[in-house]
């Protein structure tokens, strides 16, 4: 059996390469890096140019920004029923 294969599809494969990702997964990785300011300057410029020139791409990127913002706010909020002692 090849050790590089991942027997459990629910577990991330540490050996995956970018070409193994779907187009949607690549987009989400790029959009996440963009919105979290984790993208290199040259890649950021290319991403912004694509947003300017492609309305569908821009709409997807903006939708992902809304989702990321909501998740970050949810994670920062106190858990229901937890009393803060501070």
Q: What would the pLDDT profile of 66-86 be if each residue is shown by its tens digit?
A: 999 999 999 988 888 877 776
Across the range 35-43, mean pLDDT stands at 96
Across the range 35-58, mean pLDDT stands at 97
Residue 4 pLDDT class (50, 70, 90 cuts):
very low
The answer to whether 44 touches 34, Cβ cutoff 8 Å, is: yes
**Burial of residue 31, with CB atoms counted within 10 A of its CB: 0-12 exposed, 13-18 middle, 19 or more buried:** buried
67 in a structural domain: yes
86 in a structural domain: no
Handedness of CA 71, 74, 79, 84 (dihedral sign): positive
Whether 6 shows a pLDDT value over 90: the answer reads no
37 in a structural domain: yes
Q: Any alpha helices (H) in the chain, and if so which ranges? A: 23-35, 41-53, 55-76
Full residue range of the structural domain in which residue 65 is found: 24-74
Instruction: Determine the pLDDT at residue 73.
Output: 92
Q: How many domains does the chain fold into?
A: 1
Instruction: Determine the pLDDT at residue 19.
Output: 60
Residue 10 pLDDT class (50, 70, 90 cuts):
very low
């Amino acid at each position: 059996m090849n050790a590089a294969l991942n027997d459990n599809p629910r577990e991330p494969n540490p050996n995956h390469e970018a070409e193994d990702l779907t187009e949607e997964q690549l987009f989400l990785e790029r959009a996440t890096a963009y919105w979290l300011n984790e993208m290199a300057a040259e890649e950021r410029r290319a991403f912004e140019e694509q947003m300017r020139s492609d309305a569908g791409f821009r709409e997807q990127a903006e939708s992902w920004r809304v989702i990321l913002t909501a998740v970050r706010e949810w994670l920062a909020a106190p858990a229901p029923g937890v009393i803060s002692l501070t």
